[in-house]
């Protein structure tokens, strides 16, 4: 049984990958459904804790991504857990508007493998073209 160093903080216990990121899984706090997976860096984790709203790191845009900043589909954090290896976070969230996926679906995990083909098993709740507003205005 190993013990953590006395001077180790909660933030030091997160095992960041070589890019300074950790996987973050958002799960609906009420239903238990997995909504999405994203990445967090230290800044986004600290901002999430400070605000109570999920803030992620967008690898494609190389910037902070405040979930819902353009769609209005904010994630209110109910609790946060670190896995046994320290390399993944689980966020229990309230998904405002019921849509977590940029495709307009409740969950990003809407495709199931059926007969060696990925089949969409969930309807689009809102057209993505009408969902996003510019955050630069």
**What DSSP letter does each residue of the chain carry, written as one string?**
-----TT--TTTTS---TTS-EEEEEEETTT--EEEEEEE-HHHHHHHHHHSB-EEEETTTTEEEETTTTTS--EEEEEEEE-TTSSEEEEEEEEGGG--STTSSS-S--EEEETTEEEE-S--SS-HHHH---S--
Residue 101 counted as an annotated binding residue: yes
Question: In terms of residue numbers, what domain contains 71?
Answer: 22-131
Q: How many domains does the chain have?
A: 1
Answer yes or no: is 82 within a domain.
yes
- In tens, the pLDDT along 48-93 reads 999 999 999 999 999 999 999 989 999 999 999 999 999 999 999 9
Answer yes or no: is 16 within a domain.
no
Answer yes or no: is 1 within a domain.
no
Residue 85 counted as an annotated binding residue: yes
Q: What is the CATH number of the domain that holds 34?
A: 3.10.20.810
Q: What does the pLDDT average to over 12-30?
A: 97
Residue 83 counted as an annotated binding residue: yes
Answer yes or no: is 75 within a domain.
yes
| Confidence band of 97 (pLDDT split at 50, 70, 90) | very high
Global pTM reads 0.85
């Amino acid at each position: 049984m190993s013990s953590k160093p006395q001077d180790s903080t909660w933030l030091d216990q997160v095992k960041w990958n070589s890019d300074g990121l950790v996987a973050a899984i958002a799960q609906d706090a009420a239903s238990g459904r997995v909504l999405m997976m994203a990445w967090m860096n230290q800044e986004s984790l600290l901002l999430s804790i400070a605000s109570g709203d999920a803030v992620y790191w967008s690898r494609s845009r190389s910037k902070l991504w405040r979930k819902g900043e353009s769609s209005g589909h904010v994630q209110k954090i109910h609790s946060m857990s670190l896995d046994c290896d320290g390399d993944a976070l689980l966020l229990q969230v309230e998904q405002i508007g019921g849509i977590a996926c940029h495709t307009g679906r409740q969950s990003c995990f809407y495709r199931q493998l059926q007969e060696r083909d990925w089949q969409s098993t969930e309807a689009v709740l809102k057209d993505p073209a009408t969902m996003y507003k510019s955050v630069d205005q």
